[in-house]
A and B are shown apart, each in its own frame.
Chain A
Amino acid sequence: MTKMTAQSSNSKQASYAAQRKLTNTVIYIILSVMVVIWIFPIFWLVIQSLRGEEGISTSYFFPKQWTLDNYVRLFVEYDENGVALPMDEMTYPYGQWILNTFIVAIVSCVISTLIILMVSYTFSRLRFKSRKTFLNLGLILGMFPGFMSMAATYNIMEIFGLKQSLVGLMIVYSAGAGLGYQVSKGFFDTIPRSLDEAAKIDGATRNQIFWQIILPLSKPIIVYTALTTFIGPWGDYIFVSYFMKANQSNFTVALGLYSMLDPEHITEYFTTFCAGAVLIAIPITILFIIMQRYYVAGVTGGAVKG
């Protein structure tokens, strides 16, 4: 009797284990297929950027000629006599675009980070009469579609004499930062208030508390804010396309790469476009992977409390 139950439970266990193995195999297969689907376009992009043959598409997957020329062509262009053209005479001055985007990103990153930290500290820590009005106003302003007023912004920049300029772009990217305080406000809210109070008893002003106590404790959120504001200009297309019109030497990378797909040049420049896209994607991808856990915390921070 006991033997029989042991046997049946053995076989039951065996079948259970087999079933588990089967499920896991199925899951591995599903995951592998999905990874292939997800990675395929990016893999295709990399392959195309190394293709020697011209043209948008080929009827075969792997190129017949492998080359790095496309990457070289991003930075150097020769005229009929084989002399290298200066950057501002190139058909697509990719190096210039990278430089533009980098300068804009650095400046707006520094200004935006400062602004975001200042605003979020104020709303998290300081209590004053018009605080509610400001928070309400921020909430309402944040609900307007971002580029609804880009024509007006362009007009304003025109009046300041800054239309189609990089300085104008920096100002626009940093000026809106005051509305992006939620994530870092959430962070400041978690720093115990007793720290402030202890410092206050010791005679510190709120100014000193901000710079000497709160900010040194906020390194993670400073890094997060700096990274997100730095990445912003690299991916923005909408505003910059309206703002720069056809002023090609002031394009950012996103706008420049998009302009490479212009039907007139696309057959000649498609593989170069791919090379440019790969070059720009590498650093951004690395930055994103570094900050992914902050990203998750930022998105779910308010939601988890449900």
Chain B
Amino acid sequence: MDYLDYVQMTTGQKIGYKISSFFGGIIPAIGTLFRIIGAFFKSLFSLIGNGFKGYGYRFANGDAGTKLSYIIMGAGSLMHRQVGKGLLFLAAEVAYFMFMANFGMTYLTKIYSTNVTMSDYPNMIFNGVIGSEAPIKEKDMLTGVPKIVNVDTVDDSNRILLFFILTVLVSIAFFAIYITNTKSAYASYEVLKEGKKPIGTIDELKMFLDERFHVTLLAIPVVLLLLFTVLPILFTICIAFTNYDIDHQPPGNLYWWVGFANFADVFYSNPMKSETFGKILVWTLVWAVFATFTNYIFGIILALLINKKEIKFKGFWRTMFVITAAVPQFVTLLIMRLLLGETTGLNVLWGTSYPFLTDANWARVTVIVVNMWVGIPYTMLISSGLLMNIPEDLYESARIDGANAFQQFTKITFPYIFFVTTPYLITTFVGNINNFNVIFFLTGGGPSPASYYKAGQTDLLVTWLYKLTVNTSDFNLAAVIGIFVFVICACGSLITFNMSKASKNEEEFS
């Protein structure tokens, strides 16, 4: 379906088409999500496969140096007159084995400890605990407060899990270096066989400024991402399968693997948690729909008003609205909270006490309205640019045919903008599911009835996640919610991804 087919439809058909293509897009998007994850693993495995390809062949056909490098890294390079390179490989191997012996092995064994006894649970034996040395607690004679006796030897589940993941990552990196080592040994052997001299270390290092410049450029960013983005995410995903909560917090406690119990809790088995989850999920989606479409429609209308030909002082109007978008969000939102409080701001000014933020239904409307105040200037900014792209002759011919301003809007402007900005719309939708600021700063998620599990009636999934992490230390539940939000966002992003031709042209996933 191209643009021409699209513009020939009636307005109703257009909206129907958009809605059906959005919801119709969800299932393919889930498919695409799995395909991307699949493609990712495929490319990962094919990288590994490429490493193994010829692994045996190289061993069988290489010379002694090549064969030796399968056990002692760098041996091939050393024997093939690439001393610097050989020493580097050797150093990598020594470093890795030192790392494993002194550090890594401990965590590989402790990650799933069996037969662990804990002083908090007398006469019980635990399997699958993260850490083998449980804290032994004794009551202090004077104060009666439990104290950990074995402070020096006690295990910390957090540390063990983190270092376990780190060890796995280091091992993967080492494995890649190992394969490179065997390949390099065989390659230099072949060069020697032809009677040429293998490339020297200096020349090889120079390649990192040219043919292998991507390695140089990506090295630091990738290491930083691995340490501070990938490692925490992997850690959090693991936490979703443990009982790391307020009662099992290191130091002082170990936590252990519980399988899918947390997912079951949140989705159906624990009535309070699953009901809270259901209600928050529904409100999150309602919020995202309203927040997205109110901003979108009114933002476009505002842009149209400002950009109307006869309107003067365009720069002035635009700047006025841009100012409100430019002030840091936490500032404007905190002002709004004080303006709308039951005993502050407008209520004092008017001598009233409207429950703008304290009654559930009022609060839900208020956050959507305030979000319009926050978001409309952005939509206005973006659609102003787009409006100028609409060919003027479309309007001219419409006017000659006798179309009035309203018809021009419904037949030309709106379809054009809607068609062009659908990806933007979905990005905003996903952004609103994650819209932490507006909810957190305005209502803090409240009002919070007792029937909600550590949440309030205007809480979104992400603010609930934040509360579970910060206020109540329910890290395992927070991790489950995080994974769930990831799945929603991934689907949304992938619908956009599928729709946007710009990325299709890149053909990243073909």
Question: Size of chain B's interface in residues, with CB distance under 8 A?
Answer: 108
Once the chains bind, are B422 and A178 in contact (CB under 8 Å)? no
| A35-B320, A159-B159 known; A137 vs B385 contact (CB < 8 Å) | no
Once the chains bind, are A122 and B229 in contact (CB under 8 Å)? no
Q: How far is the CA of A28 from the CA of B308 in the complex (A)?
A: 11
**Contact stretch, chosen from B19-27, B181-189, B332-340:** B332-340
Interface size bracket, A side: 35 or more
Interface centre among B43, B235, B339 (most CB of A within 10 A): B43
Chain A CB within 8 A of B77 CB: no
Once the chains bind, are B324 and A27 in contact (CB under 8 Å)? no
Once the chains bind, are B224 and A115 in contact (CB under 8 Å)? yes
Chain B CB within 8 A of A174 CB: yes
Chain A CB within 8 A of B220 CB: yes
Contact with B along A37-72 (1 / 0, CB 8 A): 111011011000000000011111100000000000
Contacts of A303 in B (CB 8 A): 420-421, 423-424, 500
Once the chains bind, are A284 and B327 in contact (CB under 8 Å)? yes
| A38-B321, A118-B217, A284-B328 known; A304 vs B420 contact (CB < 8 Å) | yes
Q: How far is the CB of A199 from chain B (nearest CB, A)?
A: 12
Once the chains bind, are B40 and A133 in contact (CB under 8 Å)? yes
Q: How far is the CB of B233 from chain A (nearest CB, A)?
A: 5
Q: How far is the CA of A303 from the CA of B500 in the complex (A)?
A: 7
Contacts of B469 in A (CB 8 A): 147, 150-151, 242
Contacts of A296 in B (CB 8 A): 381-382, 384-385
Q: How far is the CA of A146 from the CA of B329 in the complex (A)?
A: 17
Q: Which of A133, A140, A159, A289 contacts B326 (CB 8 A)?
A: A289
Chain A CB within 8 A of B71 CB: no
Contact with A along B219-251 (1 / 0, CB 8 A): 011101101111111011001000000000000
Chain A CB within 8 A of B508 CB: yes
Q: Which of A31, A139, A261 contacts B306 (CB 8 A)?
A: A31
Once the chains bind, are A141 and B229 in contact (CB under 8 Å)? yes
Contacts of A27 in B (CB 8 A): 305, 308, 311
| A254-B330, A306-B422 known; A152 vs B232 contact (CB < 8 Å) | yes
Q: How far is the CB of B375 from chain A (nearest CB, A)?
A: 12
Chain B CB within 8 A of A280 CB: yes
Once the chains bind, are A128 and B214 in contact (CB under 8 Å)? yes
Q: How far is the CB of B329 from chain A (nearest CB, A)?
A: 6
Tell me the chain A residues, 135-192 only, with Cβ under 8 Å from chain B: 135-137, 139-153, 155-156, 159, 171-172, 174-179
The DSSP consensus for interface residues of chain A is helix
Q: How far is the CB of A191 from chain B (nearest CB, A)?
A: 16
Contact with B along A267-306 (1 / 0, CB 8 A): 0001000000100110011111100100110011011111
Interface centre among A131, A145, A205 (most CB of B within 10 A): A145
Contacts of A292 in B (CB 8 A): 322, 326, 381
**Contact stretch, chosen from A85-93, A215-223, A231-239:** A231-239
| A126-B213, A206-B209, A207-B210 known; A140 vs B225 contact (CB < 8 Å) | no
Q: How far is the CB of B237 from chain A (nearest CB, A)?
A: 9
Q: Which of A42, A140, A156, A258 contacts B327 (CB 8 A)?
A: A42
Chain A CB within 8 A of B283 CB: no
Once the chains bind, are B344 and A57 in contact (CB under 8 Å)? yes
The DSSP consensus for interface residues of chain B is helix
Contacts of B159 in A (CB 8 A): 155, 159
Q: Which of B214, B233, B317, B323 contacts A148 (CB 8 A)?
A: B233
| A134-B218, A206-B209, A242-B470 known; A145 vs B344 contact (CB < 8 Å) | no
| A24-B311, A235-B330, A300-B386 known; A143 vs B486 contact (CB < 8 Å) | yes
Q: How far is the CB of B342 from chain A (nearest CB, A)?
A: 11
Once the chains bind, are A149 and B235 in contact (CB under 8 Å)? yes
Q: How far is the CA of A53 from the CA of B389 in the complex (A)?
A: 52
| A31-B306, A151-B236, A206-B210 known; A118 vs B218 contact (CB < 8 Å) | yes
Chain A CB within 8 A of B503 CB: yes
Using a CB–CB distance below 8 Å, which chain B residues touch chain A? 36-37, 39-40, 43-44, 47, 50, 158-159, 162, 209-211, 213-214, 216-218, 220-222, 224-225, 227-233, 235-236, 239, 302, 305-306, 308, 310-311, 317, 319-332, 334-336, 338-339, 341, 343-345, 347-349, 351, 373, 377, 381-382, 384-386, 389, 405, 419-424, 434, 436-437, 440-441, 462, 465-466, 469-470, 475, 478-479, 482, 485-486, 489-490, 493, 500-503, 508-509
Given A175-B225, A234-B328; 5 other pairs, CB 8 A cutoff: A31-B306, A44-B335, A59-B348, A145-B465, A303-B424
15 contacts between A and B (CB under 8 A): A28-B311, A37-B373, A57-B344, A118-B221, A119-B217, A126-B217, A133-B47, A147-B465, A153-B228, A155-B162, A159-B159, A285-B327, A287-B326, A289-B319, A300-B385
Using a CB–CB distance below 8 Å, which chain A residues touch chain B? 20, 23-24, 27-28, 30-31, 34-35, 37-39, 41-42, 44-45, 56-61, 115, 118-119, 121-122, 126, 128-137, 139-153, 155-156, 159, 171-172, 174-179, 205-207, 210, 234-235, 237-238, 241-242, 254, 257-258, 261, 270, 277, 280-281, 284-289, 292, 295-296, 299-300, 302-306
5 pairs of A and B residues whose beta carbons are closest in the complex: A148-B482, A288-B326, A149-B232, A152-B232, A175-B228
